[in-house]
Amino acid sequence: MLKGDLKHRTGPYRFYAPVYDRIFAPSFSEGHRNMYRLLNLSKGDRILEVGVGTGVSLRYCPEYVQLEGIDYSDSMLKQARQKQDKGKIGRNVNLSKMDAHHIEFDDHTFDHSLVAHALAVVAKPEVVLSEMKRVTKRSGRICIVNHYSEKDGLLLNLWNPFRKILGLGEKVNFLELVENCGLEILEERRVNRDSASIIICMVPFESRTQ
Ligand SMILES: C[S@@+](CC[C@H](N)C(=O)[O-])C[C@H]1O[C@@H](n2cnc3c(N)ncnc32)[C@H](O)[C@@H]1O
């Protein structure tokens, strides 16, 4: 991913970061809580959260796992680091600045991976999901939380370019994305009335890395 494009994508988060937890996070909390719960994490698991943002989801991350949270926005990461300094995020969490299109971990490093409300924001969701698949162990689970609608209404289509400019994400067909990436869908469920859904998928046992 070109540095200019990355800056352009994550630039708006400079403005959202200070108010993110108050404006966006409340409607995301059901999804955040459920994504950690549905993964059935075990003691000592290594977990990756992509696009961790201000770390608002991490209040639901159990202390018995080791979590790597990555994001490309300095402003969003600053908020997350402040939470950690105040003890609101545990020391079992490591936060790093990283482009999700080039995840700097070896193949099959993590037991499971998560991404919440970030896969529709990145430039190439298919590349990011492939990277998550590469760094997740075989038979490990990948949890995707996002607002999405299968409907193709005129208003949604008109709103889409503005969402992109505002850094709020584009319309993504998540089920197609997951299938094209060669992941097995284990579960799909609605988390709230706001059309936020969770997809839990699994890295197939015979999965190869390119
Ligand atoms: C809508 S926020 C979601 C934050 C958090 N996951 C949540 O649920 O509250 C999207 C996040 O994706 C991050 N992001 C966008 N493109 C990225 C990239 N290429 N690599 C890493 N993070 C990225 C943004 O900086 C932002 O923090």
Q: What is the rounded CA–CA span in Å between residue 208 and residue 91?
A: 33
Name the residue of 14, 33, 36, 76 whose CB sits within 8 Å of the most ligand 1 atoms, as the mutation to test its pocket. 76
Ligand 1 center to residue 7 CA distance, Å? 12
Q: Whose CA is closest to atom 14 on ligand 1?
A: 51
- Residues of the chain below pLDDT 50: none
Q: pLDDT tens digits for 46-82?
A: 999 999 999 999 999 999 999 999 999 999 999 999 9
Q: What is the rounded CA–CA span in Å between residue 157 and residue 149?
A: 11
In this structure, the residues whose C-beta lies within 6 A of any atom of ligand 1 are: 6, 9-10, 13, 25, 28, 51-53, 56-57, 70-73, 76, 99-101, 116-118, 121-122
Structural domain boundaries in the chain: 3-202
- Give alpha helix (H) positions in the chain: 3-10, 13-16, 20-23, 25-38, 74-85, 125-135, 154-165, 174-180
Neighbour count for residue 81 (Cβ, 10 Å): 15
Task: Report the percent of the chain where pLDDT is more than 70.
Answer: 85
Backbone angles phi, psi at 130, to 5 degrees: -65, -40
Q: Whose CA is closest to atom 16 on ligand 1?
A: 122
CATH architecture of 3-202: 3-Layer(aba) Sandwich (3.40)
Ligand 1 center to residue 121 CA distance, Å? 7
pTM for the full model?
Answer: 0.92
Q: Which residues contact 153 (CB under 8 A, 6 or more apart)?
A: none
Map 146-188 to HEC letters. Answer: EECCCCCCHHHHHHHHHHHHCCCCCCCCHHHHHHHCCCEEEEE
pLDDT value at residue 21: 95
